[in-house]
Structures are given as structure tokens and as C-alpha cells.
Amino acid sequence: MELKGYGDRLAERTAQVVGEGPKIAALADSEMASETRALVDKIRLSAGAGTAAEVPEYMRTMVKHPDLFRAQMEMGTVLFKGLISPRERELAVLRIGWLAGAPYEWGEHVKISQRYGVSREEIARVQQGSSAPGWSEHDAAILRGVEELMSDYAVSDATWDILAKTWDEAQLLEYPSMVGQYVVTAFIQNSIRSRPAPENPGLSHS
């Protein structure tokens, strides 16, 4: 199956996803119960983000379904502190956000990935994907696995064998779940039209 992505129609995709604003209104900061606020802070701290002066709009929306929010955040936290290295994870997440045409996820992870050692040149190369020249064999396999999972819902033997040269069994176990979790994030953020923060240019962030 072909996975085309949205690279040649960024403006159109951005308008489609976030053009009309959120489908579900976020709670105002002042509307959040103190326990909800504490939950958000706990999640942010466990991800190394520090408490926020203002809770992001996406989180202020998702807390309207507290059980779901908590379960999603538990998964996110486990993966954030997972067995796959942060740089490897961020390469995968960027490829996911790009292929899913996800303005929020892509825009946020352009920032986050640079904290974990992904260069701006590599961010541009992620847009070209696994076959772009310059990747190590292992990094190319990480990107190709994302492409395979998002189009065929399975990692191929060739890609698996390359990943297995570097990763142990637990890292290999984590990989499809990690990709899946960030696909989930694109599904929800795109579907409710989560907007990137005003200073974040979304899909044109580079």
C-alpha cells in the first residue's frame, strides 16, 4: 500500500486539520479542578517538562474525560522513559507526525527532538523518509518501520532483522507499541483539531 503523506500540500492539510479551530472546547485554566491540575503537573514532571504556568490547550481538552486522559498519559510516560533511546524515539515520532499530517504532533516534536540531539538537518531529512541518503542502517530501519506500520500495520522481516542487530528483545517489543501510541496521538489531536501553540508553526516548523 502506498503511504503518500502530506508533504506536497502542507497548507491544505493544515487548513483541513486546524483551520476551523478545536471541535471540543478546552477547559479554561480557572475551570480545572485542583486535582486535575495536580494530575497534569505530575504527568509533566514525570516527562521531565516541569510544571507549566499554563496547561496546554490539548491537555485542558483531554481532561474532560479524566479516566481516558490518565490512561493515555500513563502510556505516554512509560514510553517517554522507555527502553528505546530518546533520540531514536524522536526520529520515529517525527516520521509519524509527518506522515499523519499532524500539525500539533509534528510542531511539538520539532522542538522536543532537538532537546534529544536530533539536528535540524535530520529533521528536514525525516520528511524525505527512510530512503534519504545519510542515515545509519539502524536509523533508516527505524524510519522504514514507521512507514511499514502506518501502511501495512506490520514491520517487515528485512526491517526487523536490521533493528534486531542493535536492539534487545524488550526494545523490539516496545517499538511497534511506541509507534502505535504516537499514531493514536495523531488520531485524537487531528480529529479534535488540536491547535499548536500560537508560536508553533505546525507542519511548516523546521
Query: Closer to another protein at the Cβ: 22 or 201?
Result: 22
Which residue ranges make up the site for another protein (CB under 8 A)? 1-4, 16-17, 23-24, 61-62, 64-65, 67-68, 70-72, 74-75, 77-79, 81-83, 99-102, 149, 151-155, 160, 169-170, 172-177, 179-181, 183-188, 190-192
CB of 5 vs another protein, minimal distance in Å: 9
Query: Closer to another protein at the Cβ: 90 or 174?
Result: 174
Rounded CA gap, 143 and 157, in Å? Answer: 15
Q: At what angle do helices 34-46 and 66-80 cross, to 10 degrees?
A: 20
Mapping DSSP onto H, E and C, the string for 95-153 reads HHHHHCCCHHHHHHHHHHHHHCCCCHHHHHHHHHCCCCCCCCHHHHHHHHHHHHHHHHC
CB of 173 vs another protein, minimal distance in Å: 5
CB of 134 vs another protein, minimal distance in Å: 26
Query: Closer to another protein at the Cβ: 77 or 128?
Result: 77
Query: Closer to another protein at the Cβ: 29 or 161?
Result: 161
Cα angle, residue 49 at apex, residues 6 and 18 outer, rounded to 5°: 30
Rounded to the nearest 5°, which phi and psi values hold at 48? 75, 20
CB of 15 vs another protein, minimal distance in Å: 12
Task: Report the candidate in 96, 84, 94 with the shortest Cα–Cα distance to residue 172.
Answer: 84
CB of 40 vs another protein, minimal distance in Å: 16
Distance of CA 206 to the CA centre of its chain: 15
Query: Closer to another protein at the Cβ: 27 or 114?
Result: 27
Task: Report the candidate in 25, 65, 72, 28 with the shortest Cα–Cα distance to residue 47.
Answer: 72
CB of 176 vs another protein, minimal distance in Å: 4
Query: Closer to another protein at the Cβ: 97 or 122?
Result: 97
All three cell numbers of 142, joined, read 527505524
